Chains A and B, each alone.
Chain A
Amino acid sequence: GQNIDQPTEMTATEGAIVQINCTYQTSGFNGLFWYQQHAGEAPTFLSYNVLDGLEEKGRFSSFLSRSKGYSYLLLKELQMKDSASYLCAVKDSNYQLIWGAGTKLIIKP
């Protein structure tokens, strides 16, 4: 079966750095996506990785290792508004998004 694993919940301090890990086992791979979802809202796109390496976009960076089936999302200079769920998703061989359960990130002052 297809499986994506993320930690259920993480806590970090405002101004700090946090890394959210994601491991996946899917039938085929056509890219890995990170989305942010605030409670009661639809997910918003953060990043996309299809090749190994680090993609940086402002305070957010995402890393991919296809051989290890592993990705992480790195958030720097944390702000209170970063409190949300972060969803890892992989497009499989049929280009269908397979979703992780999401990581709830709690930011404390």
Chain B
Amino acid sequence: GAVVSQHPSWVICKSGTSVKIECRSLDFQATTMFWYRQFPKQSLMLMATSNEGSKATYEQGVEKDKFLINHASLTLSTLTVTSAHPEDSSFYICSASTGGVTEAFFGQGTRLTVV
């Protein structure tokens, strides 16, 4: 199957700092990338959908100024958590799709801990 690489796998940062997470599709062009957040023992929650070259579409309740998403190319999307707080600590997962009915391919996830 297709490979999606997410980096870093885990990060610890101080409260008030910003963290950037990268999501790359290694062997296909991802027209659409999705960013999810998952709290312990809970399901995946979609944060935003981004299409290459256009602004991301954020889900209700997700602050677009806090979670900056850039999808500058067909193989790279980034999520920047700005001014991170302990409540932002979570498992962040990206997925990439060529669109349509095909399955989405997931990155390995990033465990963010804000101290």
User: A: which residues have CB within 8 A of B?
Assistant: 30-31, 33, 40-45, 48, 50, 87, 91, 95-97, 99-102
Contacts and interface: CB of A to CB of B under 8 A. Distances in A.
Contact of A45 (B1, B46, B99): B1
Nearest to B99: A95
B109 A50 contact: no
Interface string B41-66: 01111100100000000000000000
Nearest to B103: A45
A99 B101 contact: no
Nearest to A33: B103
Contact of A48 (B42, B99, B103, B108): B103
Interface residues of B, number: 23
A83 to B, nearest CB: 15
7 contacts: A30-B100, A42-B93, A45-B1, A45-B105, A95-B99, A96-B46, A97-B34
A44 B95 CA distance: 11
A41 B109 contact: yes
Contacts of A31: 101
B103 A100 contact: no
A102 B104 CA distance: 17
B103 to A, nearest CB: 5
A97 B104 contact: yes
Contacts of A40: 91, 109, 111
